[in-house]
Structure 1
Amino acid sequence: MSLEKKFNRAAEYLQSMASDLDSAQLLKFYALYKQATIGPCNTYEPLMFMGNVLKKWQAWKTLGDMSYDDAMKNYLLELDKLNPDWDKQSDSNWVVISRLISTEDEISDADKTFLDWVKEGHEEKVQELLDKKPKLANLIDSEGLLPIHWAADRGYLEIIKKLIEKGTDVNAQDEDGQTPLHYAVSCGHHHVVEYLISIGAEFIEDNNGISPKDIAGENFKEIL
């Protein structure tokens, strides 16, 4: 299997277990993914920006001139440390495992919260819970984020649409004043950025006076 093909499988696998990782682990994988797919950090530093966007930018920037191949190799190495058996299944019947294999007790489906399902990108379950309790669409977590911020951060466009349909404000701000557009831009999710703008997302400045345009760089030149 080629390095790039294995890397793409690893990136897909990681999406299924992202909710099990702590912030430091997520930042490491985020930075390596950006380095492996785009190359060295090519966006401006978000000056005086103390939220998640700056942390992601810094994590990517610290990789310097690391090559595409080395970034992919390091990504795979980090995943192997978490779960050496992640890629044991064959190409023909590979099934994404929904939880990280670790020494910690696994969370059963019955114990998962609405935000857990959002973070995992489980569209059907998110829709089911929203139909029962539409107010979940505007649930604020302990970090001051709404479900739409998590969905925008991870590029889950269909879940974003479901949340919008249930009344979530496209310009909802977290405790740092960051909107879903801030998150989508900082994570490089072009399809999400295009959609948010198409339904009225504004270039709102956060608590530090930074708008999504300020962190966009060249990657979103044609869109923004």
Structure 2
Amino acid sequence: MKDEKPVYTDAIPPSNRKSFAFSFLCAHVTSSSSSLHRNTEFEAAAALVKTFTKNPTNDEKLALYAYYKQATVGDNTTAAPGMFDLTGKAKWNAWNAKKGVSTEDAMKAYIAEVEKQKAVYA
């Protein structure tokens, strides 16, 4: 068993192994740091909304809610609320309309919406 070499080393010539490993690591770190930066921005935007001194309109609140839920939970798979739960139905419809939007895109849209609302309500 000791004499066996890992299978992956056959695919990369010996002269390129260190270079390949370094490139792979750099690409992974860059991707991770970009994602980490986006998460930090998203969390900061969520905290900023709580400091607004004026109330956004219901439609603006629904936009924030929908992007926040899509970014943090993903696609809406919950059952629709009953017909007498008007607030719940509005929130469910807003979130459900974002079905298929990626986490990354939902975070970007949420951050952009917060920036837009900040000018008016902060």
- With the length of structure 1 as denominator, give the TM-score of the two structures: 0.36
Q: Which has the higher contact order (CA 8 A, sep 6+)?
A: 2
Give the whole-Å Cα distance in 1 for the aligned partners of 2:53 and 2:93.
20
Deviations, residues 46-79 of structure 1 (Å, cap 9, x unaligned): 1323420110000000001101110000001112
Q: Which runs of 4+ in 1 moved over 4 A?
A: none
Give the whole-Å Cα distance in 2 for the aligned partners of 1:49 and 1:81.
32
1:81 to 2:102 alignment: no
One-letter amino acid matched to 1:15? K
Alignment of 1:1-224 (within 5 A): 2-17=37-52, 19-83=54-118, 100-101=121-122
User: Percent identity at matched positions?
Assistant: 32
Higher-Rg structure is: 2
C-alpha contact 1:36 1:72 (8 A) present in aligned 2:
yes
Give the whole-Å Cα distance in 1 for the aligned partners of 2:54 and 2:86.
19
CA distance 1:65–1:15, change in 2 (3 Å) = same
Unaligned residue ranges in structure 1 (runs of 5+): 85-98, 102-224
CA distance 1:38–1:45, change in 2 (3 Å) = same
RMSD: 2.0
C-alpha contact 1:18 1:26 (8 A) present in aligned 2:
no
Give the whole-Å Cα distance in 1 for the aligned partners of 2:76 and 2:53.
23
Give the whole-Å Cα distance in 2 for the aligned partners of 1:39 and 1:64.
8
The answer to which structure has the higher helix fraction is 2
Unaligned residue ranges in structure 2 (runs of 5+): 1-35
Number of matched residues?
A: 87
C-alpha contact 2:71 2:106 (8 A) present in aligned 1:
yes
